Structure formats: structure tokens, C-alpha cells
Chains A and B, each alone.
Chain A
Amino acid sequence: MRAMRDVWGEKLVELGASDPRTVVLDGDLANSTKADKFAKAHPDRFFQMGIAEQNLIGTAAGLAAVGYVPWTSSFTVFFTHRAIDPIRMLVAQSCANVKIVGSYSGLLIGAVGKTHLDIQDLAIMRAMPGITVLAPADEAEVLAMMDWAHAYDGPVYLRLVRDAVPDLFGADYNFVPGAVHQLRAGSDVALVSTGPQTARVLNAADQLSATGVSVSVVHVPSLKPLDEDALTAALLHHHLVVTVEEHSIYGGLGGLVAEVLTARSPAPRIERIGINDTWGESAGNDFMLDKHGLSPERIAHRVSEALARVPG
């Protein structure tokens, strides 16, 4: 159980050592994102772009065009909002080999308030043709995704969080783009999650199981591409599917699952747990998770209520 940003920073150092094409572009947040580890290990390939994220993305695209493998360092919100037009034209439309990594996604980034919270990045990046959209849950998944992304010739968006996250997978974890992971098999309700929220969902599943509910848990680390058949197979036989994400209920995992399942018939009832069309605020992690229904207790409660409404 280590902070995701530390895992990322150390892996960057390793990629820099194994591949001289590796470069890192920072938007003056390296000591927060932990790209400073790379700056120390490979100073000639660490580029300080200053507080100017649009140019950071454009410069990364230019470096990619002449053979480098650029990784970016800032908070997600400054990429997916501030720099979205260069991401659209210079990275996505140009199929540039840029690895856009936003640390500090979601709600749990320290008490900084709504200006710095990114609860729309999945919706924005999913709607961007050509970009692979990944949300790892733990250290093993971050490492596997970084290895895959570095070897893959094309744009990747990697959604990281600030804090320590529990380990779900072992060191033998093998990342396959599009794959979904069934972590629990049940029959009453299927909980679907992505990123570190999956750990809290597993905790909620334990609480529900203790009350006699048979729960499936499905982890979707690759929002794009997605093996829609595998997702459907894991979910369709349940009467109730509940999506849970540290993101707006619009356009992220909940939207994705609804899009896939409603194209099949008969579709299960779908409940979406997430940030309910509102902004965040300055607050501690526990307050945030509780307020937005993302704590294990709140998830279990919401699922119990929903089950009571679903005809068995």
C-alpha cells in the first residue's frame, strides 16, 4: 500500500533508465506529482515547462514527432480542462505518442477545493477519439499500465490519484487493454467500479455479503478500449447493476456501463453512484467520500435500498 504518485515517480525513473527516448515534461508540480524523482535521476530529459499546460502538451507532441516518448506531469484538471484543445488537435487528432498522466484526479487530493478537483476527466477523455483511457486501482496496475503505455505507440491518458491505495493485484498482474476483471461472483447485484474506488466497493461488497446479499464486483480499469462483450457477460444476468466512481455520474464509468448494457436486451436496472452533477469543496477524504456516497457504508446502504426496489 503505497501512494500512487510515488509508484508513478519511481517507475518513470526506471523507464528513463531502460529507454533513452523517455522524457518528462512538468507543469511546475513535479514535487507534488513525484516526477521530481525523474528530474533528479535524468536531469537532461526532464523539461520544466512552467505553469503553462497548453504549451506543455504541444511541446510533448513535438518531442513525440521526432522520436521521443514524452510523459507529462501535472494535476489532471490542468490537462483535461486547461489544455484540452491542444490535447484534441495535437495529440488525439494527430495520433501523437504522448502519455498524458494526470495525478490528483477525483475528490481525494487534499483540502484544495473545487478549483483543483477533476470530476469530469473520464467523460472528456472518453469522448476524444483515438486516446486510450486508463484508471488503475493499485500499485501493480499502475506499473503494468505504464509498461504497456510506454511500449504502445499512441496517445494514452492515465488517471492517477494522490494518496496511498490498497493493493488488489499481485506483482504478476498482466494488463490487457479493454479487459474487465471480475473480482467477486454473485447473483443479486453487480457492483462496477474503476480506479482506487474499486477497493472501497470491495469493502461495501463484504458488508452486503454479511447481510446475505450475493454480490458481483467488476473492475473496469480500461475505459477505452473496452471489451464490451466481456463486460456484458459479467453483468447482464443481474437484475441490478450499480456503478460506483469518483467522478461525475455523467459520461464516466456510469455512462459507459449504461451505454453498453442498454444496447442489450433485456437490460438490468442501472444505478449510478458518483458526484451527482455538483462541484466538490475543500474537505478531508472521509468527509468527501461520505458526502458523495462513495464510502463503503454509503455504497452498501444505497445498494440495499436499490435492491428493495428491484423486483426479484
Chain B
Amino acid sequence: MGSRQSAHEQVTRLTTDTVVPDYSDLPGLARQARWQVIKTVTSNKAGHIGGPLSMMDLLVSLYFHELRIRPEDPDWVDRDRFILSKGHAAIGLYAVLALRGFLPVDELVTFDKGDSRLQGHPDVTRLPGLDASTGSLGQGLSVGVGMALGAQRGNKDFHTWVLLGDGEIQEGMVWEAVQVAARYKLSNLTAIIDRNGLQQFGLPSTSETTRTDRGDRRDPWFGVDLAAVFQAFGWRVLEIDGHDYGQISNAYQLARSGDYTRRPTVIIAHTVKGKGLSLAEGVHTWHSIVPSTDDFEKARQELEADEIDLLDAYTHRTRDNRVETHATQGANSGNPVLENGARA
């Protein structure tokens, strides 16, 4: 679209100023956000790492290339809505919100502390830019159903996005929402499932499950064809690699443009828990862990390099209100998005 192109040019021009994020560099932004997660959880001595890292490419793509939002006007009535249903990954969302200009990056150190806006799980009453409180799992999709239903009845064209964990969707309330979304033809609603194949503890692998297990733990949905399940419930299913920016971007565009039979869309995004930090990738014990001194040093070596360009969009915005906030279009890898549950 023309407006996106001009926005992109403007950002490119602004990035000559070193404090403005380069929105076209999704891998750089994601690495930066992952580093902020590791740093914050380590200094806080508590928090989650595995889940925030697995969803990070999905989240960065959403916030920097897809969501229609205004960091300088977080309550903008026609904004897209985003709900992080897997609320325990809050620190990942805060890191992205900070890089996107909703809060100062140096506020991240207050995470989980008394009186902080950055509660252990997202608190809609404390931080502008959040659209729902989450934490007790399995509830975010229902709120998204309400928002999408409201948009449909009010003829508003904003899109509602809900990011869920694949462990979280064990909750029964999720499937209540799945039914209602299809019944009311909420094609303005997209669920994104962070399909990292691990949950906090789960069950150990067995000889039966080892083929699809991650590490030594059983996939929470072993033996279940999730894509077929959603399809049977009347949803459109897109199945992608949740770390491939091209596939992510294609899926988001398809989701926003709606479905000719007005089905809601679910994007099943295959991810790696702990992605981006080699020692955490696919290891279930990194769900919630404080990195040791040695591990932190390894993380620094893998991720810190970008911090020399630490991009504080919030400080920049509040200083001279110059940042262009419209979403810009990222580079496509050209990889196809597989519709209707087809597997790569």
C-alpha cells in the first residue's frame, strides 16, 4: 500500500538518527528484545524466559510491521487490539512495547517490583498500551471475541489479535471461545498459537512419543492434529514456522484481509522454546529460570552486541514527537504460508 511505502521511507530517513529503531531490521529488534528479557529476568532474579523467547519473532513482527497502533496515543479508539493470553510471557511483551516506544527502555528494570507498571503478568489498569489483564491461563481469547464482536457490530475495521501458548490451550475456556468466534463469524479475530511444544512440567517422553518430543518432554498435544481440530470448529488455519519473518508476515496479511466465508483465523506458529539463546532452546527447565553467572555471560556473548545501538523510541518520541508510528512493511523471505493445516 502506498501509505505504508511512504511510512517506510520516512522511517528509513529517521534511522540516520541513532536513537530511532530501524523497523525493517526485525532480526535485530528481536535479538534486542530477547536480550532485554534475559537481562531483566537475571537482574530481577525471577521471571520467565522460555516462553518470551519462543514468541519473540511473532511479537516483533506484529508490533513493528502489522499492528495499527499509536505509541503516543495508546488509547486510540480505532487501534488494533492485542492480547497476550499467555500472560506469564509478560516480560517479552514489555520489552517489545519499550522498543516500540510505549515506555522507556530503562523502565524494564522495575519489572515485577512493587508499584511498578510492569507487573509479573500484564495489568491493564497499570500500563497504557495493554488491552487486557492476563495471567490465569486460557482467558485471553474470550476477551478477544468480545472486542471482535464489538468491532463487527459497530462497523469498526480494527483487527483483534490474541497470542496463546500451546500449553495454555489445554484450558476448557479456550474452546468455549473457539465455538463462539466461529458462530459469530469473527473474521476480524486472529488467534496466534505459540506452538513451542513444551509446557512448565508436563510429562516425560516415552518410546511412543519420542518422535515429536522436544528434548526429553512429551508434546502437550502429542497425537492430536490441532490444525484439524480448529478447522473442524470452523476456523481458517494457517500453519507456519514462527521464526520465519516472511511466513509470519504473509500469515498476518492473510489474517487481516479476512476470509471469504468469514471464518476467524488461527495461526499455528511452530516455535522453539528459548529461541535465540542456544543453551535454552528446547529445554523445558528454561520455562522459568534465573540464568547463572556463566549462562548470563553466554547470553551476553550471543545477544548483547546490538545494545550499542540501544534504540529508545519512547525517549525519542517524548523528546520531539518525531517518530513515525504507522506500521511499515518488512522484507519477505518469500516462503509460502500453508493454508488449511497443510504441513511443511
Contacts and interface: CB of A to CB of B under 8 A. Distances in A.
Contacts of A62: 132, 142-150
A62 B151 CA distance: 10
Contacts of B131: 65
A308 interface: no
Contacts of B134: 89
Contacts of A95: 125
Contact of B139 (A44, A58, A60, A68): A58
A44 B144 CA distance: 19
Interface stretch (B35-43, B51-59, B171-179, B263-271): B171-179
Chain B interface residue bracket vs A: 20 to 34
A59 B177 contact: yes
B146 A65 contact: yes
A59 B149 contact: yes
A68 B150 contact: yes
Contacts of A54: 139, 142, 172-173, 176
A59 B139 contact: no
B142 A58 contact: yes
A187 B151 CA distance: 58
Contacts, number: 106
A57 B142 CA distance: 8
Contact of A59 (B123, B151, B153, B180): B180
A52 interface: yes
A62 B145 CA distance: 7
Contacts of A209: none
Given A54-B176, A62-B142, A90-B142, A44 B153 contact: yes
A186 interface: no
Contacts of B136: 85, 88-89
B176 A66 contact: no
13 contacts: A52-B173, A52-B180, A55-B180, A58-B143, A61-B146, A62-B144, A62-B148, A63-B147, A64-B146, A66-B146, A67-B77, A88-B136, A94-B124
Interface of B: 77, 81, 123-125, 131-136, 139, 141-151, 153-154, 156, 172-173, 176-177, 179-180, 183-184
